[in-house]
A and B are shown apart, each in its own frame.
Chain A
Amino acid sequence: MAEIRNGPEEPDRENRPEPTPSDDTGAARELVEPRSRAEYSADLERHVVLLSFEPRRAGLPDVSIKDATAYLDKHHTERPWLSVARDCPPEVQRVFAALDQGGGHAHIRHEGWVTEEMNECRVRNLEDPAQLDPAKRLAGVDGVKVSDQPHRCGGIVTRITDPEAFATAFARGIEHPDVRAALESLGPVPRPVSLPISDVLGDDGHKFCSGWRLEPVSGNMLEALANRAAWVAGNRDVPEPRTRPVETFEGGTVTYVFRASTGGCHEISTMYVDPPDEETT
């Protein structure tokens, strides 16, 4: 072995020039593929889900990718929740365009265009992010319901902060057997379906979620909601509602809520995420 190593064909190791680290090498690799294999696989799967999304299967009007882009360009000014999707891949834009032409409000209240401040004001003071008239929003008028009805919400308000993740949750959710059964049913409006966030958005899906919750009153959420209703109605004998951010969505759920569709079956009225249960009642 030593003979071979020291033979005439062996490269001169002693006088070999020191390899010079190239600044380009790492950068080039980063440009080519910065993701881990698992991340790449998850992204690929998400891409496939979005590409194979058929609006009609969700009770929504059929929208081509080309028409979706044109729809967003045309309507994003008066419908600001569409703006976030304009820089997204075309298949994401199609989900938003289809949703916006349906009767649901998931993309209007539970998506990334809603800021943290808007969400906090919603749960504390019942100010609806979907209400585009600032005076009406401050007065608690619902932005989606007809005839200036008061806005309502539960003790937690949430959103999926990334439009692509939001579109994926919708496109993947409508293929779940329980959601499919609900969408295709002809009878009364089906009950909501709640699926683990990790099943819909992957193990890191909770990182795309954000939200605020009411502080319990006397350790009680029942009382906190009643208290907020009284405060918003003008009763200043009750404590002012207080809020705090949701700590984590890990272990939480995505809920799909239904309504009758103009096509005769059902469509998704809204879709929202919830954190795992707290012990507070």
Chain B
Amino acid sequence: MKRRRDRERCQVNQAYWARNPQGPFATLIGVAATYCHPEAYDGAYEDLAVRARSAAPDDEEIRVFRAELQEALADPGQLPDNELFKAVQFSDGSNEAFLCRLWHDLYGNKP
């Protein structure tokens, strides 16, 4: 019984986007964690920029990411408590400052 419970428990990915796949800004937070966290691989941030700028029409993840990034920039207060910072560990000082830098680096102009 304990073994079965252990196996069931082991199925749980604790990341925000896995616990809340339909949750607010799950794609933005998941993509940012993948490419912008200090522990991401060397060149990850540059890879995100390339992917974002030349997104294939069927790259649904990037389409949603861009839309959520715009939405978060319009009102950073909508972001779920501390989840963006916890997932990305940026040094920009605020969610808004990080999101502004991200948009600028990926898309250049203002949203």
Q: Are A194 and B14 in contact (CB under 8 A)?
A: yes
Interface size of B by CB at 8 A reads 37
CB neighbours (8 Å) of B9 from chain A are 196, 199
Contact A189 B37 (CB under 8 A): no
CB of B11 within 8 A of CB of A177, answer: yes
- B86 near A194 (CB under 8 angstroms)? no
Interchain nearest-CB distance for A137 vs B (Å): 16
Flag if A145 contacts B85 (CB, 8 Å). no
Least CB distance from A144 to B in Å reads 7
Complex Cα distance A199/B10, Å? 6
Cβ contacts under 8 Å, A51 to chain B: none
- Binding site secondary structure of chain B: loop
Assess the A257–B92 pair: CB atoms within 8 A.
no
**Chain A interface residue count: which class?**
35 or more
CA of A250 to CA of B81, assembled, Å: 23
Residues of chain A within 8 A of B6, CB atoms compared: 199
Segment from A6-14, A21-29, A217-225 that makes contact with B: A217-225
Knowing that A191-B30, A225-B93, A270-B39 are A-B contacts, what are 15 other residue pairs whose CB atoms are under 8 Å apart, sorted by A's residue number? A144-B42, A146-B42, A153-B38, A154-B37, A177-B11, A189-B34, A193-B13, A195-B10, A222-B95, A225-B89, A225-B91, A226-B91, A258-B41, A259-B41, A277-B86
- Measured CB to CB, the residues of A under 8 A from B are 103, 144-146, 149, 152-155, 176-178, 188-196, 199, 221-223, 225-226, 228-229, 253, 255, 257-259, 269-270, 272, 277, 281
